[in-house]
């Protein structure tokens, strides 16, 4: 069985092609600047990487070229070898509680829900339609970023605002990065041979969210109605007092959309440090004695600590804390500071083990009250696994 995982953006299409017999990655790649001048694709396979600039007028062009290349590069002999296509879908509101076969109803819902993910849902539809056109008989599965968080209770997902906002306009916490958090919970449960774990999953990359998981189910998560909520991120503020929005509108003569744009794209590490949104730059500057970098680092790690502490209490303690994504997998100083902040909970990490980058590893000491692991995420594989399950 061979399955393609697809992540479509408004002008991009990322793919990972798996052999499901051994879950190995056969090929992966990216089509960029679709519909824009200067479009190109990159394909990695067999230890090689090819890149070509080629006109891609739309997503269907990208899919056609992708499939042709899989054949001409001898990755597959014919399209018949593709058993299924899994699509990363962003917003399924409260209707989609798990992955599902893609039908016309799913496509229609993605459009109906577009106000909840204006950049992503329409792009996801473009990807689905392109594959439908080029591979009409191959089954497709949709894997929603929001689905894993659908097990949250009302107490977790409601905001303390007029209830009619929820009933009439769908204002509630949805949560994101669900596929990654689900992969982390599955991986750590398999490795430890237990499915009754209290897990705090920290997906911290450029965007980031923390999720409290009990017995494999999401209890609460830090992102909210949109991915702007929760911990401080690379360029996003995370939680702030909403009154700041109207105050800054008046002070700087901006409209609400412009202020939200700043909270999404010019805040977080970038906003506070005035240096960079990338933790590597922040840590380097901090080590050079830069005070702005230091304050951004301290605020960042504090917001992550706060959520972990909150979820520790919510879960009645924790069996394991997992770090994943760009920073979670690679940043020793980030993990070290967050765990140091949590020392009063009896959390201790091993300095040498914490040097790990991008590998599954236990980083807590044997006398730590909570296990702490680095677990590399693999959303693409999770999408392929769901696809396999549903097409079978
Ligand atoms: P996205 O949320 O866009 O998927 P990633 O999970 O790829 O992001 O994370 C990207 C971020 O991870 C970078 O902005 C950087 O801050 C951080 N990062 C990646 N590698 C390292 C590293 N070696 N050390 C510290 N931070 C890193």
- Would you state the pLDDT for residue 116? 94
Atom of ligand 1 nearest to the CA of 282: 16
Atom of ligand 1 nearest to the CA of 206: 2
| pLDDT tens digits, 147-165 | 999 999 999 999 999 999 9
Q: 364 and 347 in contact (C-beta within 8 Å)?
A: yes
Q: Whose CA is nearest to atom 3 of ligand 1?
A: 206
Q: Which of 108, 115, 126 is nearest to 12 (CA)?
A: 126
Domains and CATH numbers, the chain: 2-144 (3.30.420.40), 193-379 (3.30.420.40)
Atom of ligand 1 nearest to the CA of 269: 16
Q: Whose CA is nearest to atom 19 of ligand 1?
A: 326
Q: What mean pLDDT, rounded, does the chain reach? A: 97
- Would you state the pLDDT for residue 82? 97
- Would you state the pLDDT for residue 119? 87
Q: Is 43 helix (H, G, I), strand (E, B) or coil?
A: strand
Q: pLDDT grade, residue 6 (50/70/90)?
A: very high
- Would you state the pLDDT for residue 92? 96
Q: Which of 217, 212, 89, 216 is nearest to 150 (CA)?
A: 217
Cα 170 from Cα 168, distance rounded (Å) = 6
Cα 42 from Cα 52, distance rounded (Å) = 7
Q: 4 and 43 in contact (C-beta within 8 Å)?
A: no
| pLDDT tens digits, 13-60 | 999 999 999 999 999 999 999 999 999 999 999 999 999 999 999 999
Q: How far is the CA of 203 from the centre of ligand 1 (A)?
A: 11
Q: Whose CA is nearest to atom 12 of ligand 1?
A: 326
Atom of ligand 1 nearest to the CA of 377: 6
Q: Per-residue pLDDT for 187 more than 90?
A: yes
Q: Whose CA is nearest to atom 25 of ligand 1?
A: 331
| pLDDT tens digits, 273-326 | 999 999 999 999 999 999 999 999 999 999 999 999 999 999 999 999 999 999
- Would you state the pLDDT for residue 168? 97
Q: Is 49 helix (H, G, I), strand (E, B) or coil?
A: strand
pTM: 0.96
With a Cβ cut-off of 6 Å, ligand 1 is lined by: 205-207, 234, 278-280, 325-327, 330-331
Cα 377 from Cα 385, distance rounded (Å) = 14
CB-hemisphere CA count at 13 Å for 147? Answer: 18
Task: Report, as an integer, the average pLDDT of 193-201.
Answer: 97
- Would you state the pLDDT for residue 253? 98
Q: How far is the CA of 183 from the centre of ligand 1 (A)?
A: 18
The DSSP element (H or E) to which 42 belongs, if any, is: strand 40-45
Q: What residues are labeled active site? A: 145
Q: How far is the CA of 43 from the centre of ligand 1 (A)?
A: 22
| pLDDT tens digits, 204-224 | 999 999 999 999 999 999 999
**Edge-to-edge order in the sheet of strand 217-221:** 217-221, 208-214, 198-204, 320-324, 371-374, 361-362
Q: How far is the CA of 326 from the centre of ligand 1 (A)?
A: 3
Cα 165 from Cα 49, distance rounded (Å) = 50
| The dihedral sign for the CA sequence 281, 284, 289, 291 | positive
Q: How far is the CA of 42 from the centre of ligand 1 (A)?
A: 21
């Amino acid at each position: 069985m061979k399955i393609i995982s697809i992540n479509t953006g408004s002008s991009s299409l990322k793919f990972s092609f798996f052999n499901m017999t051994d879950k190995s990655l056969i090929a992966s790649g990216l089509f960029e600047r679709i519909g824009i001048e200067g479009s190109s694709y990159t394909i990695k396979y067999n230890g090689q990487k090819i890149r070509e600039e080629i006109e891609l007028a739309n997503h269907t062009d990208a899919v056609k070229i992708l499939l042709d290349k899989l054949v001409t590069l001898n990755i597959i002999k014919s399209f018949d070898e593709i058993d299924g296509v899994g699509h990363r879908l962003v917003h399924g509101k409260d209707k989609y509680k798990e992955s599902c076969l893609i039908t016309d109803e799913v496509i229609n819902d993605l459009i109906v829900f577009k106000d909840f993910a204006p950049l992503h849902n329409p792009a996801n539809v473009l990807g689905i339609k392109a594959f439908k056109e080029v591979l009409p008989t191959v089954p497709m599965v949709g894997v929603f970023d929001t689905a894993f968080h659908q097990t949250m209770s009302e107490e977790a997902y409601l905001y303390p605002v007029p209830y009619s906002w929820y009933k009439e306009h769908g204002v509630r916490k949805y949560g994101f990065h669900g596929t990654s958090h689900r992969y982390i919970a599955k991986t750590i449960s398999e490795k430890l041979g237990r499915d009754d774990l209290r897990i705090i999953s920290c997906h911290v990359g450029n965007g980031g969210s923390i999720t409290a998981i009990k017995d494999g189910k999401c209890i609460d998560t830090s992102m909210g109605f949109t991915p702007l909520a929760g911990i401080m991120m690379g360029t996003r503020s995370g939680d702030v007092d909403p009154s700041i929005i109207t105050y800054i509108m008046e002070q700087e003569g901006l409209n609400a959309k412009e202020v939200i744009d700043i909270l999404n794209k010019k805040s977080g590490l970038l906003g506070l440090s005035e240096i960079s949104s990338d933790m590597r730059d922040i840590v380097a500057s901090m080590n050079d004695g830069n005070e702005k970098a230091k304050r951004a680092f301290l605020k960042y790690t504090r917001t992550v600590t706060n959520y972990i502490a909150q979820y520790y209490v919510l879960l009645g303690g924790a069996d394991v804390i997992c770090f994943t994504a760009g920073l979670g997998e690679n940043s020793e100083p980030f993990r070290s500071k967050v765990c140091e902040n949590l020392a009063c909970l009896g959390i201790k990490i091993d300095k040498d083990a914490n040097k790990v980058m991008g590998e599954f590893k236990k980083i807590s000491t044997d006398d730590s009250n909570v296990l702490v692991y680095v677990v590399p995420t693999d959303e693409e594989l999770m999408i392929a696994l769901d696809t396999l399950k549903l097409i079978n």
